[in-house]
Amino acid sequence: MGGSKTYKRFGLKQIRERLIRGYLSFLENNLDTAERVYSELHEKFPDSQLIAYNLLLVLIKKGDFEKAKKILDDFIERKRVIGGKIKEKLSRNIIMLKFVLDLFTEDIYKTIIWLKEHLYEELFICHPDWEGFPGIEFNLVKFFEIADEETAKLQKFLAEERKSDYIFPINRQIRETIYFLLKEKGSKDATKSLYLKGIFGIVALSLNKIDEAKSIINELSDSEDVDVILLRGKIKFCIGDLNGALKDFTKALRYLKNDQRRFIPLVNLSVIYLLVGDYEKAIQLVGDALRARADCFMCWYVRALILLKSEEWNEAERAFKALLEWKKDDPSIWFGLGRAYLAKNKILESIEALLKAKKLDPSNEEYQIYLELARKITRERRGKT
């Protein structure tokens, strides 16, 4: 029933109107109307990811998990080809809904396999733009001896909202659902695997639940499972224990010496060396990662950042432009390109790129700082002419 001809017969205007009606009904908590609207659309366009996703959200909110699961499983099955592989790339939201629905209705270990197959990079790779949680240990007496200016800086740092989606780049509401489901399942299952605990630690960290994540590190300390070691290393990285993360990723790399998955510890080691300023080692490691997995987006992004930090401005510009061919709606890529332009004294191009970054992520103060710097340079130039 799907396809462009069906869309034309039904009318794009009608589709848009019904999507809006369904969305407004959902916002107003009129779930029966929303379900009816999206069900009618889904019947006509069963292969539309957008329509399927909206219908599934309504059913989940209504608590009709079995019906939602059947619709989603049928949708995914139609995407499969011989050998069981999925012919069309599923959106991240569809993947996560599958994970959440399976958590409600299936064995938890089966759901973990799905998550690992479809979000392996997001789960295991350390984001190079992440600023770790403050690992601050202090007593109150010493704290109040700190100068007012330093106290203000500390308070500002602690109050700032961390980019928690850098830890696990998934919608926050879905992360919260996963957190509570994993916690509930785990409390009922005393034999749950260390791998499952590692995933729980990552999700907890992404929700700023630092103490829970730290306690899990100890539980994972004796594991020799390579995926558990990688998860343990990522948790350590996110809380600022770079030495501990370095040891874990180095250990994982030894285990994965002849495995394609070695790109994960390689890129994570590259990120650590990038952060400590050893750009030569970082570029070597990320190059090795790309030789193991050439289609790793984050590997290419890390490479672009290394080129930028090591003042290879022309190479950095080309690298960020290449990334835009991959993801035009990623503000961090526009920001990187804007900084490369700024370093090359291409001020107008820099402002244009930084404005795009700011539009995609209006709350990011760093984007605004660089934008003001570029504008200031422009004003000063005009004043001299």
Q: Which of 64-68, 175-179, 319-323, 378-382 tops mean pLDDT?
A: 319-323
If you average pLDDT over residues 268-279, what whole number do you get? 96
| Residue from 245, 294, 293 nearest 268 by CA | 245
Distance CA 17, CA 336 (A): 38
Angle between helices 263-276 and 226-238 (to 10 degrees): 20
| Residue from 247, 246, 243, 238 nearest 202 by CA | 238
Answer positive or negative: Cα dihedral of 91, 94, 98, 100. Answer: positive
End-to-end CA distance of the chain: 65
Distance CA 87, CA 50 (A): 17
- CATH number at 331 reads 1.25.40.10
Domain range enclosing 355 = 318-385
Q: If pLDDT is split at 50, 70 and 90, which confidence band does 292 have?
A: very high
User: Do the Cβ atoms of 255 and 239 come closer than 8 Å?
Assistant: no
- 206: amino acid identity, one letter: S
User: Do the Cβ atoms of 245 and 233 come closer than 8 Å?
Assistant: yes
pLDDT reading at 35 higher than 80: yes
For 143-182, letters b (16+ CB in 10 Å) and e give eeeeeeeeeeeeeeeeeeebbbebbbbbeeebbebbbebb
Give the range among 96-110, 224-238, 346-360 with minimum mean pLDDT: 96-110
Q: Does 295 fall in a domain?
A: no
Output DSSP code: residue 166.
G
Distance CA 223, CA 229 (A): 7
pLDDT reading at 370 higher than 80: yes
Cβ neighbourhood burial of 56 (10 Å; 0-12, 13-18, 19+): buried
Concatenating the DSSP letter of every residue in 47-114 gives T-HHHHHHHHHHHHHHT-HHHHHHHHHHHHHHTB-TTS-BSSPPPHHHHHHHHHHHHHHS-HHHHHHH
Q: Does 379 fall in a domain?
A: yes
Distance CA 37, CA 302 (A): 44
Backbone φ/ψ region at 63: left (φ over 0), alpha (ψ -120 to 50), beta: left
Q: Does 348 fall in a domain?
A: yes
| pLDDT: which is higher, 35 or 85 | 35
Q: If pLDDT is split at 50, 70 and 90, which confidence band does 152 have?
A: low
If you average pLDDT over residues 44-64, what whole number do you get? 89
Q: Does 70 fall in a domain?
A: no
If you average pLDDT over residues 121-138, what whole number do you get? 73
| Residue that is written with structure tokens 């350390």 in the block | 126
| Residue that is written with structure tokens 């103490």 in the block | 211
Q: Does 303 fall in a domain?
A: no
For the chain, the domain total comes to 1
User: Do the Cβ atoms of 285 and 267 come closer than 8 Å?
Assistant: yes
Q: Does 328 fall in a domain?
A: yes
Q: What is the pLDDT of residues 298-321, one digit of tens each?
A: 999 999 999 999 999 999 999 999
Give the pLDDT score at 333.
96
If you average pLDDT over residues 126-145, what whole number do you get? 58
pLDDT reading at 66 higher than 80: yes
CA distances from 51 to 2, 11, 34 (A): 12, 15, 11
Q: What is the pLDDT of residues 181-193, one digit of tens each?
A: 788 766 455 445 7
| Residue that is written with structure tokens 């809904």 in the block | 97
Give the range among 11-20, 158-167, 236-245 with minimum mean pLDDT: 158-167
Distance CA 168, CA 205 (A): 9
Give the range among 32-41, 268-277, 332-341, 372-381 with minimum mean pLDDT: 372-381
Give the pLDDT score at 9.
52
| pLDDT: which is higher, 138 or 372 | 372
pLDDT reading at 143 higher than 60: no
| pLDDT: which is higher, 197 or 291 | 291
Q: Does 380 fall in a domain?
A: yes
Q: Does 345 fall in a domain?
A: yes
Q: What is the pLDDT of residues 77-117, one digit of tens each?
A: 887 754 555 556 777 778 778 877 877 776 677 777 777 77
